[in-house]
Amino acid sequence: MASAEMKDTASPYKVEASNQTLSSPPSVNSSDQTKTAREDEEAQTPGTTKTKPAFNRDYRFWMIMVTLVLATLLASLEATVVITSLPTIVESLNLGSSYIWVTNVFFLTTACVQPLFGQLCNLWGRKKVMMFIFATYTLGSGIAGGANGGAMLIAGRAIQGIGSGGVTMVNDVIISDLVPLRYRGNYIAILLLVATIGFAVGPFLGGVIVENTTWRWVFYLNLPIGGVAIVVTYFFLNLQYDRTQSTMDKLRRIDYIGNAILIASSVSILIALTWAGPVHPWSDARILAPLIIGLLGLVGFVIYEASGIPSEPVMPIRLFPGRTSYIVYINTFLNMLLIQWCYFFLPLYFQAVKLSTPSRSGVQMLPVALIAIPGAALSAVVLSKWGKYKMLHVSGFFLMTLGVGLLGLLHEDSPPAAWILLQFIPAIGSGFLLNTLLPAFQAATDEEDQAAATGNWTFMRSFGSVWGVAIAGSIFNTYTKQYSHMIDNELAREMLSSGDSYQSATRAFILQFDEGVQTQIRHVFMLSLSKVYVISVAFGGLAWVLSLFEKDVPLRKELDTQYGLDEKAPVEQKKEEA
């Protein structure tokens, strides 16, 4: 009942709105809001004022979109640019076995901070949080680029991950502030297009940098982009928020216990997933203990959030009013798991089976980016025109499941036509899903809960990515060990039966052996990859079955939010806050 009481209190946002009038009476149902808005439109006569546009798209809107595009480009590039430059970095800094943390600590901190940033956005406003995120990301890039040892590099990557997690989450929150639910898919698609380009270009760019200059520019490249993003954010990202509360009041509203449980549980799980395989076998107590503790911690987190103890929980149970919310939340996890399974292992196919260079494998993966874009564009049109997402999800998961299964048909001598065409099917499916899952999750929640909904949704998305890499990597290592007896060379056989064969699945590793052994190693890698893709069908099938039970919750065409565009300039805001 606390939330209902909060809605009835006087709103400080109407004072801030200036030329924008916010009239948001306590509403209990998104379908009721849509019905009321429709009745208001029908009640207008030709003699009355013109219908108010669904949302404002003046120059400030597009400058904010430029900011979000820069943010997305930063995060997506950094997620993959290290892939091809990592061997050079490992050799330069003598990282040894700690190399695994260079990438994994980035994803670990990315996932952990997202729900917390959702709360901070509501308390301090999107602008201040976004500037902090850019500053954090830029600082992390500088530390990583200037690293003189493994500890400094890993610390820089951890700080980068905090910024990246914030960028991913706050971008979606700001889109939710500016665009009605019905049309959000269009603008999410723009950011996804940029992210896809960043993910695709990252490995190629990393390879070019280390081949032509120092690896440090892999990180230094973010400094000017981050600086521009901070300046643009300061001048143009002017959104409303509650400026009447004191800092102490805001600090008291943070769900410290809930965030602590969630972060500790996530870190425990992600550490287990990082160590499983490369460091210790899955059956080792050093893997099982943190994994079980982390999973139990997540159960405890849900119980605590539902208990009513926190006055403003980081994951309000009201975010899940019906089965569709639960299904979309679970399928967000499964979707990212499938994406990682599908696309994280395609470079391995090209480099360890087709013996392509890292930069060439980046080019060979371009069909994924080029085909996912039309799929995302089509889903955005369908979502904005008809407001229906269930069939997009059903079709998307069907194509994803079919596509990853068909990737298992690839072999060492597959012609270009085969591996190009087989990328089409899962790419179209992922395009249908990427920009429609978030609006579907937000549909049943009030506008005031959009930041919390987005923070928890992006957390699940990041969580799915980590699990996707870990599970698929474990399957690959297990089957490579099982098939290693097919290799005649004793050294190669021992290395691939060590339980960490994924790290050896590179062109450089294979080319050190004679041609006959190369053929055997490529065949073993191909057999293991086929198993990875075949097993992924079970997870895709589960997501498809779950999507059949979704309901099309009406998507709002009007924007009724407390956090829309603020008409005041940055200087005016600063005077007022002082």
Query: HEC profile for 256-301?
Result: HHHHHHHHHHHHHHHHHHHHECCCECCCCHHHHHHHHHHHHHHHHH
Lowest average pLDDT, out of 50-64, 107-121, 233-247, 541-555, goes to 50-64
pLDDT bracket for residue 38 (50, 70, 90): very low
Whether residue 178 contacts residue 61, with contact meaning beta carbons closer than 8 Å, is answered with: yes
pLDDT of 530 higher than 90: yes
> 18: pLDDT confidence band, cut at 50, 70 and 90?
very low
What pLDDT shows up at residue 565?
58
Give me the pLDDT at residue 241, please: 64
Closest CA to 258 of 119, 132, 128: 119
What's the confidence (pLDDT) of residue 216? Answer: 92
- Of 277, 298, 223, whose CA–CA distance to 469 is shortest? 277
Q: How far apart are CA 427 and CA 546, in angstroms?
A: 20
pLDDT class of 25 with cuts at 50, 70, 90: very low
Tokens found for residue 118: 């959702």
Tell me which H or E stretch contains 121: helix 114-145
Please answer whether residues 265 and 462 qualify as being in contact, where contact means their C-beta atoms are separated by less than 8 angstroms.
no
Whole-angstrom Cα distance, residue 335 to residue 543? 8
Q: Give the other-Cβ count within 10 Å of 149's Cβ.
A: 11
**Distance, CA of 465 to CA of 278 (rounded, Å):** 18
**57, 559 in Cβ contact below 8 A?**
no
The band of 46, judged by pLDDT with boundaries at 50, 70 and 90, is very low
Q: Judge whether residue 89 has pLDDT over 90.
A: no
Q: Around Cβ 405, how many Cβ atoms within 10 Å?
A: 19
What does the pLDDT read at residue 85?
79
- Which residue did the predictor score with more confidence, 44 or 491? 491
Q: What is the pLDDT of residue 564?
A: 56
Confidence of residue 534 (pLDDT cuts 50, 70, 90): very high
In whole angstroms, give the CA distance from residue 68 to residue 57: 15
Sign of CA dihedral 123, 127, 131, 133: positive
Burial 433-451 (b: 16+ CB within 10 A, else e): bbbbbbbbbbbbbbbbbbb
Is pLDDT larger for residue 211 or for residue 518? 518
Among 167-171, 204-208, 306-310, 574-578, the least confident range: 574-578
**pLDDT range class, residue 520, cuts 50, 70, 90:** very high
In sign, the C-alpha dihedral spanning 50, 51, 56, 59 is negative
Q: What is the per-residue pLDDT for 242?
A: 67
Give me the pLDDT at residue 32, please: 47
Encode pLDDT of 399-445 as tens digits. Answer: 999 999 999 999 999 999 999 999 999 989 988 998 889 889 988 88
Give the pLDDT of residue 546: 97
Could you report the per-residue pLDDT of 375-394, keeping only the tens digit for each?
888 888 888 888 889 999 99
Can you give the pLDDT at residue 559? 64
Contact 423, 565 (CB under 8 A): no
- The closest alpha carbon to 279, from 83, 488, 477, belongs to 477
| 92 against 358, higher pLDDT | 92
Is residue 49 scored above 70 in pLDDT?
Answer: no
* Mean pLDDT for the stretch of residues 25-32: 42
Nearest-angstrom CA–CA distance, 334 and 340:
10
Residue 545's pLDDT band, with cuts at 50, 70 and 90, is very high
Band of residue 568 on the pLDDT scale cut at 50, 70, 90: low
Is the Cα torsion angle 364, 198, 60, 17 positive or negative in sign?
positive
Mean pLDDT value of segment 504-510:
85
The arithmetic mean of pLDDT across residues 146-160, rounded, is 92
- The residue among 246 and 257 whose pLDDT is bigger is 257
Per-residue confidence (pLDDT) for residue 562, from 0 to 100: 56
Q: What is the pLDDT of residues 318-328, one digit of tens each?
A: 889 889 999 99
CA proximity to 315, closest of 327, 302, 328: 302
* The pLDDT of residue 66: 86
Quote the CA–CA distance of 165 and 461 in Å, as a whole number.
11
Dihedral of alpha carbons 329, 330, 334, 335, sign: negative
**Calpha distance 454→450 (Å, rounded):** 6
Please report, rounded to a whole number, the percentage of residues in the chain having pLDDT higher than 70.
85
Whether 305 contacts 459, CB under 8 Å: no
Distance separating alpha carbons of residues 410 and 399, to the nearest angstrom: 17
Q: How far is CA 135 from CA 84, 103, 229, 326, in A?
A: 26, 20, 9, 35
Q: Is the pLDDT of residue 525 over 70?
A: yes
- Residue 486 · residue 520 · CB < 8 Å: yes
- Is 70 exceeded by the pLDDT of residue 26? no
Q: Which two tokens stand for residue 456?
A: 């928890």
pLDDT-derived band at 563 (thresholds 50, 70, 90) equals low
Check: CB of residue 345 under 8 Å from CB of residue 472.
yes
Say if residue 453's pLDDT is above 60: yes
The predicted structure's pLDDT at residue 329: 94
pLDDT over 70 (residue 13) = no
Find the range with the poorest average confidence among 34-38, 321-325, 479-483: 34-38
Q: Region 253-275: what's the mean pLDDT?
A: 88
Q: How confident is the model at residue 51 (pLDDT cuts 50, 70, 90)?
A: very low
Q: What are phi and psi of 280, to 5 degrees?
A: -135, 150
Whole-number pLDDT of residue 47: 42
Question: Is 50 exceeded by the pLDDT of residue 197?
Answer: yes
Residue 353 DSSP one-character state: I
Q: Nearest-5° angle of CA 397, CA 401, CA 403?
A: 115
Say if residues 237 and 130 touch (Cβ distance below 8 Å).
Answer: yes
Report the pLDDT value the prediction gives residue 153, as an integer from 0 to 100: 93
* Single-letter code of the amino acid located at 121: C
Q: Give the residue with greater pLDDT, 338 vs 279.
A: 338
Low-confidence winner among 7-11, 209-213, 455-459 (lowest mean pLDDT):
7-11
| pLDDT at residue 560, rounded to an integer | 61
